[in-house]
């Protein structure tokens, strides 16, 4: 089974909930910037096989933001691709 990383605003991976803004909710990690959140990905996804596909979903981000984020995620995941669709949470 492929593990999915849903980078939505708020951003969610299959095993970890990440927010790039302020939210007060129990058991959810908060990050004050995209830089901090993306830099935490390797630690947050322990046990993830980087050779598996990583599906990236965006909602609420501009085309420019997507273009900036995808190459940075590719540094962590060898098979990363964009799907412009909304994931129900």
Q: Show me where the domains of the chain are located.
A: 5-83
- Tell me how far apart the alpha carbons of residues 53 and 58 are, in angstroms, rounded to a whole number: 16
Question: What digits encode the pLDDT tens for the residues 18-44?
Answer: 444 443 344 455 556 666 666 666 555
pTM assigned to the model = 0.42
Question: What digits encode the pLDDT tens for the residues 59-86?
Answer: 566 677 767 777 776 666 655 545 544 3
Whether residue 2 has pLDDT greater than 70: no
Write down the pLDDT at residue 78: 58
Which positions ≥6 away from 16 have C-beta within 8 Å?
A: 29, 44, 45
**Of 43 and 15, which is predicted with more confidence?**
43
Write down the pLDDT at residue 35: 66
């Amino acid at each position: 089974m492929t593990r999915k990383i849903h980078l939505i605003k708020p951003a969610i991976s299959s095993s970890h909930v990440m927010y790039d803004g302020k939210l007060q909710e129990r058991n959810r990690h908060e990050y004050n910037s995209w830089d901090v959140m993306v830099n935490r990905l390797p630690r947050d996804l322990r046990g993830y096989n980087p050779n598996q596909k990583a599906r990236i979903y965006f909602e609420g981000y501009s085309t420019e933001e997507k273009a900036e984020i995808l190459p940075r995620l590719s540094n962590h995941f060898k098979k990363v691709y964009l799907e412009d669709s909304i994931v129900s949470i």
